[in-house]
Chain A
Amino acid sequence: MQEESVFFVRGEMINPRSAPSSQSGAVKWLRDNLFSGWMNSILTVLGFAFVVYVIHESLPWLMNGVWRANSLAECRAIIEASAGPGAEGACWALIRERWHQFLFGFYPPEEYWRPVLAFALMFVALAPVLYSDNRRSMLIMVGGVGVLLFLAMIALDGSVGHIAFTVVVMAAMLALAYAAPSKLFWVTLLFPAIGFYLLWGGSVWGPIGALVGFGIVAAAYMLLQNRLGVVVSTGLGFVLACLWWLFVQTQVTTALHDAMPIGLPGVDSDQFGGFLLAFVIGVAAIAGSLPIGILLALGRRSDMLLVKTLCVGFIEFIRGVPLITMLFTASLLLQYFLPPQTNFDLILRVIILVTLFASAYIAEVIRGGLAALPRGQTEAADSLGLDYWQAQRLIIMPQALKISIPGIVSSFIGLFKDTTLVAFVGLFDPLQGITKIVRADINWKGVYWEPYLFVGAIFFVFCFGMSRYSMYLENKLKTDHR
């Protein structure tokens, strides 16, 4: 073997050149994704065949759909007349006739504007949360919801007064979003009271009295936080608020109501149903379970034995019990533990238990995010002199929540769909409660697919929306490798 010299020196550096043409274009995409090998090619062909089969089978049924009829028999007659004997078709006329029950249950029709306005305001309240630093997105959201609300009001409600009122409200929201986007956060904070008042009606002083309780918590926190610390001042405020709610509020609000009887006609909880019910429970439980879940996750990682034991016990107990058991507890058992003659609303009880149920799952998801953070983050925050709550709020939680977004959103989606389980305690959820009622009607006996497809489609739209938003959020928060 001949010995070669290892001497080498590069005269000039090589500049990057463009890739050969086979590395781009449709052909490359097809070859890479659909026909990269024998197996893959067969699967591609089979997949296409399956899609074609499904469309071939279901398309006539969808195309023959009938929107105007008064009963299933009439539907079938129309389909036979137009598509020939033996043809099958969807009978959407059922949805056309009963859509309001799917959406509102037995809510009084002349009051439909209230849940619709509450629904629109929910998006206004969500805007600052979803798009915290993006005024343009907030404006688009508030404006778009305003326009949709206006159209919905015209379609639903002939009353000029109601339309004018909602237009004024939404215009005010839009102006607020334009002039002072940060002030929109107050709408978010006040929304639970506004929503409750719009949906259930009654005296306006009830929700205001409940809000005063939260005002007491906030005031105690602001006044005492510097001297007593976060936990003690909040706890003290909460105790004071409970005293207010239990012993003072009723007298004050009754007196105020007698002096100034302002209010909307009351609507009972058993008139709620359909998607209105699903949204009330779902939204309230989602909004409530996130903060409780965060506290539980922090408690579970705490050094304090008592706090830790309580949190672990709570989480493990709730996760070990089926949701339906909890719902039965809400509807039956809770009544035994409450003082006699307390009329504690069934929907409210269900919301509380669904919230607790979801918060246990959220807590575990967030704990996963906390565990993924390097210890150095806490140490760096400590070494800069931040106290525990500052470190959690400014350093740890923003990162842990970011990691947990996919898990949190799937919990929320699961929770939203689980609201249909309230059918077991006699509430009219859209899937079981309402659909059963509709299918029991003599005119529509035998309808099977259509109501489920309709309800399923609405659920899909909202769950898909949540999923897309979580992907947007993940992208927005991605700061590590830009």
Chain B
Amino acid sequence: MADQTARKMEVSDEVAIQITNMNKWYGTFHVLRDIDMTVQRGERIVICGPSGSGKSTLIRCINRLEEHQQGHIIVDGTELTSDLKNIDKVRSEVGMVFQHFNLFPHLTILENLTLAPIWVRKTPKREAEEVAMHYLGKVKIPEQAHKYPGQLSGGQQQRVAIARSLCMKPRIMLFDEPTSALDPEMIKEVLDTMIELAEEGMTMLCVTHEMGFAQAVANRVIFMDQGQIVEQNEPKEFFNNPKSERTKLFLSQILGH
């Protein structure tokens, strides 16, 4: 299956994200060290690593939820600096899915989906609702449109969160451990949605420990430890033939049982 999907998904030469020599500190703690990374449009990248390795911080820097102190991050041709206009521009082009969904509990599902298009993109309400229903259909829960997030299961909430990001028609999607807070039975429904998205050619950066997902859709796996990129490779090579000792240890621990 991996070969089939890989053929379907084209990677273009266009650069979507360019990170050069980026460093970040939390106070005096050096979380990200000399990160260099280029993401082509249409690439699906899985980032893995032990907890505290800085992988979440890395993708949160890409839409400036975290501020970097050194180096450059250029997203879709826009450099992230303290300029608020640029930040809001990048954020409206980059979708993000969180570990704990972060749906707005006081709004219905439909309102969750239409809020940003209406207020940020100034889309007319009716049109925004049509788009929202389209994406709810895509994540296979259109019948939940008028419920509140608290009435949905975890898997359904995460699919709503994905649909909410898609409603902004993003060019890049970031996933921050999207399945870590879910019951095993619900992980599959979320992964299916993500695989479908990958097959449509979305540029995706995904922090996850779902190695099956990595093998199925990723065209690159990045392994991080202690704030640096330790190894990156195609998934097949990465899993079957890891080069560094740290990677071997990590893989033996997560695949060992």
Complex: chain B residue closest to A399, CB-CB: B106
A382 to B96, CA, bound (A): 10
Interface residues of B in 92-134 (CB under 8 A from A): 92, 94-96, 98, 100, 102-106, 115-116, 119-120
Query: Please, how many angstroms separate the alpha-carbon atoms of A482 and B88 in the complex?
Result: 35
| A385 partner, pick from B92, B98, B100, B150, beta carbons under 8 A | B92
Contact residue among A380, A387, A479 (Cβ-Cβ distance under 8 Å from B150): A479
Q: Tell me the minimal C-beta distance from A169 to chain B in angstroms.
A: 35
Residue of A nearest to B108 (CB): A479
Interface residues of B, dominant DSSP: mixed
- Among A376, A381, A384, A387, the most chain B Cβ lie within 10 Å of the Cβ of A384
Assess whether B247 is interfacial by the CB under 8 Å rule: no
Write the nearest CB–CB distance from B80 to chain A, whole angstroms: 13
CB nearest to B105 among chain A residues: A480
- CB–CB B150/A383 < 8 A: no
Q: Which residue of A lies closest to B63 (CB)?
A: A383
How many angstroms from the CA of A481 to the CA of B105 in the assembled complex?
10
Does B239 reach chain A (CB closer than 8 Å)? no
| Interface mask (A353-380 → B, CB under 8 Å = 1, otherwise 0) | 0000000000000000000001011011
Per-position binary interface string of chain A over residues 462-476, scored 1 when its CB falls under 8 Å from any chain B CB and 0 otherwise: 000000000000000
The answer, among B96, B103, B115, B151, for a CB contact under 8 Å with A383, is B96
Q: Is the beta-carbon distance between B148 and A390 smaller than 8 angstroms?
A: no
- Once A387-B88, A479-B148, A481-B150 are accepted as A-B contacts, the answer to whether A380 and B104 lie under 8 Å apart by CB is yes
- A386/B116 contact (C-beta < 8 A), A376-B100, A395-B104, A399-B106 known: yes
> Does A394 reach chain B (CB closer than 8 Å)?
yes
Q: Which residues on A sit within 8 Å (CB–CB) of B98?
A: 376, 379-380, 383
Complex interface: chain B residues within 8 A of A374 (CB): 100, 102
**B119 closest partner in A (C-beta):** A390
Chain A, residue nearest B120 (CB): A385
Which of B209-253 touch A at CB < 8 Å? none
Total cross-chain contacts (CB, 8 A): 70
Rounded to whole Å, the gap between the CB of A394 and the closest CB of chain B is 6
Whether, in the assembled complex, A313 has its beta carbon less than 8 Å from a beta carbon of chain B, the answer is no
B168 near A385 with CB under 8 A, answer: yes
When the two chains form their complex, are residues A479 and B96 in contact, meaning their CB atoms are under 8 A apart?
A: no
Closest to A229 in B: B84
Let me know if A384 and B116 touch, CB within 8 A.
Answer: yes
Q: Is the CB of B150 within 8 A of A482?
A: yes
A402 interfacial contact with B, CB 8 Å = yes
The answer to whether the Cβ of A43 comes within 8 Å of any Cβ in the partner chain is no
Q: Given A480-B148, A482-B150, are A384 and B115 neighbors across the interface (CB < 8 Å)?
A: yes
For B92, the closest partner residue in chain A by CB is: A385
B124 smallest CB distance to A (angstroms): 17
| Contact of A482 (CB < 8 Å), options: B94, B120, B148, B168 | B148
Asked if A398 CB lies within 8 Å of chain B CBs, one says yes
Q: Indicate whether A477 reaches chain B with its CB closer than 8 angstroms.
A: yes
Collect the chain A residues with CB atoms within 8 Å of residue B150's CB: 479-482
Q: Across the interface, do B120 and A384 meet the contact criterion of CB distance under 8 Å?
A: yes
A480 to chain B: which residues have CB within 8 Å?
105, 148, 150
B68 in the interface (beta carbon within 8 A): no
Give every chain B residue within 8 A of A379 (Cβ-Cβ): 65, 98, 102
B102 touches A380 (CB 8 A): yes
Q: Does B44 lie at the interface of the complex (its beta carbon under 8 Å from any beta carbon of A)?
A: no
Asked whether any CB of chain A lies closer than 8 Å to the CB of B164, the reply is: yes
B91 at the interface (CB under 8 A from A): yes
Q: Which residue of B lies closest to A402 (CB)?
A: B106
B164 adjacent to A384 (CB under 8 Å): yes
Counting chain B CB atoms within 10 Å of each CB, which of A380, A382, A395 scores highest? Answer: A380
Interface string of A105-130 (1 = CB under 8 A from B): 00000000000000000000000000
Assuming A382-B65, A382-B91, A385-B168, is B116 touching A477 (CB within 8 A)? no
Q: Which residue of B lies closest to A373 (CB)?
A: B105
CB-defined contacts of B91 to chain A, threshold 8 Å: 382-385
Residue of B89, B148, B168 near A384 (CB, 8 A) is B168
What 0/1 pattern do residues 385 to 397 of A give for CB contact below 8 A with B? 1110010001100
Would A482 and B151 count as touching, CB distance under 8 A? Answer: yes
Cα separation A377 to B98 with both chains bound (whole Å): 11
Measured between beta carbons, the chain B residues less than 8 angstroms from A479 are 105-106, 148, 150
Whole-angstrom distance between the alpha carbons of A376 and B149 in the complex? 15
Give, as a whole number of angstroms, the nearest-CB distance from A405 to chain B: 13
Does B65 contact A386, Cβ atoms closer than 8 Å? no
Q: Indicate whether A394 sits within 8 Å of B105 (C-beta atoms), given known contacts A379-B65, A385-B91, A387-B88.
A: no
CA distance A480 to B108 in the complex (A): 11
Chain A residues within CB distance 8 Å of chain B: 374, 376-377, 379-387, 390, 394-395, 398-399, 402, 477, 479-482
Q: A383-B65, A385-B116 are known contacts; what are 19 more A-B pairs with Cβ within 8 Å?
A: A374-B100, A377-B104, A379-B98, A380-B98, A381-B104, A382-B65, A382-B91, A383-B94, A383-B95, A383-B165, A385-B168, A387-B88, A390-B119, A398-B106, A402-B106, A479-B106, A479-B150, A480-B150, A482-B150
Can you show 20 pairs from A to B with CB atoms below 8 A apart? A374-B100, A374-B102, A376-B98, A376-B100, A381-B104, A382-B91, A383-B63, A383-B91, A383-B165, A384-B92, A384-B120, A384-B168, A385-B120, A385-B168, A386-B119, A386-B120, A398-B106, A479-B106, A480-B105, A480-B150
10 A-B pairs closest in CB distance: A385-B92, A380-B102, A376-B102, A384-B116, A383-B96, A480-B150, A385-B91, A479-B148, A385-B120, A398-B106
